[in-house]
Amino acid sequence: MDTDIGALTVVFTEFYYWITVALMFLIHVGFCMYEVGASRQKNHLHTLLKNTMLIPLVTITWFFFGWWIYWAFAGGPGITGGIGHPDPSFAEASVPWSEGMGPRLDDRITGVFWAAFLLFAWTAASIVSGAVIERIRKFAFWMIAILIGSVTWSIDAAWGWSYGGWMVEILGYHDAYASGVIHAIAGGCALGVLVVLGPRLGKFAPDGTPRDIAPHNAWLVCIGLFMIYTGFWGFYVACNVPVATTDFIAGEMTGVTQTATTIYLTPTTLGAITMNFLMSLAGGLMIGYMVSKGDAFWTYSGGLAGVITASAGNDLYHPIQALIIGGIGTAIAYKMHFWVERRFKVDDAVGAVAVHGYAGFWGLVIAGFVLWGHPSSPYEGFATISPWGQFIGAIIMFWVLGFIPGWILAKILHGAGQLRIPREVELLGLDFGNMREAERARQEVLSTEQAAL
Amino acid sequence: MSTTPLDNWAVDLGDVTLIYPFVGQEKLMVIVAVVLWIAWHIWQVKFENNTYKEDIEKHATSENLRKATSGEL
């Protein structure tokens, strides 16, 4: 801040991340709209609050330990380095009692960077929320939200979504806009929970044939998904470092120039990711419309699946590649959703495992082939991008950090009788008591008004 | 006297770092916040379980269940 250009760079970066945070709020507006739209009328308030309250709970736990995990676990620990690898000062500054966590005039970036990461954490938790509607207890979901939002996503980001992550160094893992580190892990976690939670009553016929529990308001669902697209702009932009010199990157690059970079500090441009976001969205929408034969919900979901599939490499793809990859991922996600539903009797109420989990998983794998040999990092000694590195990375995201922790926590909650709502409440509807109280109050007011005539 | 590290702005701004109140009490603040967080969950799980119990006692009559499952409610 001691030169005009230095001050401008800092203030621009601060404002840049702040804008992304404001935009990413729209992801949550969208998730709430589409979950409520997908639920039946008797479960609206519960569905809305279940999602909304993950916001404060993930926020405070992100402050307590999620942020620290990100800075502490990049090396494993014990794989490429100990706690705080490669620069322990970041981890030390990220414990909740650190002076680095409070307002200070010599650091304008930590707060907005913390918030951008937190909004990713909300997104990961919110993805799980949609899959489990209409039968999970709030307490259970909020425990799961804290697990994925403030623990497992933070670990995966440290491992595979940081400039010093061991997965980047050893596997050449590349996931610039979070196909795996947000979407595959959240889809995997949702699947792990769903396996224990079980389907909604009536979802499957006695012979195992799945029944359609249609959204009560398809319009609200689709506009919710449109809102998520909008918030996704903030998500994409937040994945970049807006301005970096080669001195700041301090890698193998030379030259007196500046660039935007990915989280790995590899150069890209906002222009590149903007074109690729739109082209992968287009590919997803077109194929979503085609494979679902014009179903509105799956067309919109297809748009999202398209972006998610291409996200791993959207810093580098040609727009035509982003278009095709988005389309391929959407077709895979759609087909896998219905296959898993029929084969394993998994009731994923909003297709979250498919749109986020399967699309994210295959997006990572595809990136391994399309970006084969590209340097994953500006630093010497890091592996290049490869199909095997991406495949192992996809397994780690979906299964190791997604499915397994979700399944274990769901089992614990189930064992304690705290996972699923009572059968009678599920039949009556989670809002039954509230609706009765509201009706009783309405009748009282009407009676009073009639008496006043 | 100030709760913050500053009691006037007659300073070289380049030297100013922390600006929040009660610097040095961060660990205590974290302990208070963690206790509040855990207490909230304990209250919430009890509240939620009681709500289900009350809903079942008050509303889960065979008539209501029949109406709910036949689409009359």
Three-class SS of residue A171? Answer: helix
Report the C-alpha gap between A447 and A344 in whole angstroms.
Answer: 53
> B10-52 pLDDT, tens per residue?
999 999 999 999 999 999 999 999 999 999 999 999 999 999 9
Q: Is A226 at the interface with chain B, CB within 8 A?
A: no
Q: Tell me the C-alpha to C-alpha distance, in Å, between residue A340 and each of A136, A195, A311, A330, A377.
A: 20, 11, 24, 15, 36
Which sequence spans correspond to the domains of chain A? 8-421
- Smallest Cα distance from A209 to chain B, Å: 20
What pLDDT does residue A439 have? 87
Residues from chain A contacting residue B52 (CB–CB below 8 Å): 421-422, 425
DSSP-assigned states of every residue in B4-72: SS-S-S-S-GGG--B-SSSTT-HHHHHHHHHHHHHHHHHHHHHHHHHHHHHHHHHH--HHHHHHHHHT-
Residue A427 to residue B68, Cβ atoms within 8 A: yes
| Pairs of CB atoms within 8 A across A/B | 88
Inter-chain touch B30–A97, beta carbons under 8 Å: yes
B20 touches chain A (CB under 8 A): yes
**Could you please report the per-residue DSSP string of A23-35?**
HHHHHHHHHHHHH
Two tokens at A403? 């499915």
> Tell me, what's the ipTM?
0.95
Residue-level pLDDT at A256: 83
Give the pLDDT of residue B73.
65
Cross-strand bridge partners of residue B60: none
Q: Which residues share a beta bridge with A107?
A: A104
Using an 8 Å Cβ cutoff, are A89 and A177 in contact?
A: no
- Hey, are the CB atoms on A428 and B33 less than 8 Å from each other? no
Distance CA B18, CA B15 (A): 10
Would you state the structure tokens that stand for residue A338, as one six-digit string? 């219905």
Closest CA to A185 of A164, A221, A161: A161
With a CB cutoff of 8 Å and minimum separation 6, the contacts of A37 are: A215, A216, A217, A218, A219, A220, A221, A222, A224
Residue A127 Cα distances to A11, A183, A203, angstroms: 32, 8, 21
Q: Do B29 and A104 touch (CB under 8 A)?
A: no
Q: According to the model, what pLDDT value does residue A9 have? A: 92
For residue B1 the two structure tokens come to 């006297």
Q: What is the pLDDT of residues A72-103, one digit of tens each?
A: 999 999 999 999 999 999 999 999 999 999 99
Report the residue from B20, B27, B55 with minimal CB separation from A433: B55
Write out residues 24-63 of A within 8 Å (CB-CB) of B.
42, 60-61, 63
- The verdict on a CB contact (< 8 Å) between B17 and A104 is yes
Strand order in the sheet with A267-268: A241-245, A258-261, A267-268
Contact across the interface for A105 and B33, Cβ inside 8 Å = no
Residue A386 C-beta-side C-alpha neighbours within 13 Å: 12
Structure tokens at A378: 């500006």
* A432·B68 Cβ contact <8 A: yes
Q: Which of residues 130-149 of A touch B (CB under 8 A)?
A: 137-139, 142
CB contact under 8 A, B56 and A427: no
User: Is it the case that residue B72 has pLDDT exceeding 80?
Assistant: no
pLDDT for position B1: 86
- Write down the pLDDT at residue A422: 97
Contact A128, A145 (CB under 8 A): yes
Q: What is the pLDDT of residue B57?
A: 94
Contact A330, A309 (CB under 8 A): yes
Coil vs helix vs strand at A242: strand
Cross-chain Cβ contact A433/B59 below 8 Å: yes
- pLDDT tens per residue, range A230-257: 999 999 999 999 999 999 998 999 998 8
Residue A10 touches partner B, C-beta closer than 8 Å: no
8 Å CB contact of A61 and B37:
yes
d(CA B9, CA A23): 35
**Displacement of CA A206 from its chain's centroid (Å):** 35
Domain regions of chain B by residue span: 24-70
* Per-residue pLDDT, A257: 84
- The per-residue pLDDT string of chain A (453 residues; one tens digit each, 9 = 90 and over) reads 778 888 999 999 999 999 999 999 999 999 999 999 999 999 999 999 999 999 999 999 999 999 999 999 999 999 999 999 999 999 999 999 999 999 999 999 999 999 999 999 999 999 999 999 999 999 999 999 999 999 999 999 999 999 999 999 999 999 999 999 999 999 999 999 999 999 999 999 999 999 999 889 999 999 999 999 999 999 999 999 999 999 999 899 999 888 999 999 999 999 999 999 999 999 999 999 999 999 999 999 999 999 999 999 999 999 999 999 999 999 999 999 999 999 999 999 999 999 999 999 999 999 999 999 999 999 999 999 999 999 999 999 999 999 999 999 999 999 999 999 999 999 999 998 888 889 889 999 999 999 998
- The CA angle A71-A77-A81, to the nearest 5 degrees, is 90
Q: Which fold has domain A8-421?
A: Ammonium transporter fold (1.10.3430)
Inter-chain CB proximity A105 and B59 less than 8 Å: no
- For the packed helices A110-131 and A153-160, what is the interaxial angle rounded to 10 degrees? 120
Q: How far apart are CA A334 and CA A83, in angstroms?
A: 41
Residue position matching structure tokens 């907005």: A112
**For residue B69, what pLDDT is reported?**
84
Instruction: Cis check for the bond before A96: say yes or no (omega within 30 of 0).
Output: no
Q: Residues A288, A303: contact at Cβ < 8 Å?
A: yes
Helix %, strand %, coil % of chain B (to 5): 65, 0, 35
The minimum CA-CA distance between B60 and chain A, rounded to whole Å, is 6
In this structure, are residues A48 and A59 in contact, taking their beta carbons and an 8 Å threshold?
no
Min Cα distance A155 → chain B (Å) is 21
Residues of A in contact with B14 (CB under 8 A): 1-2
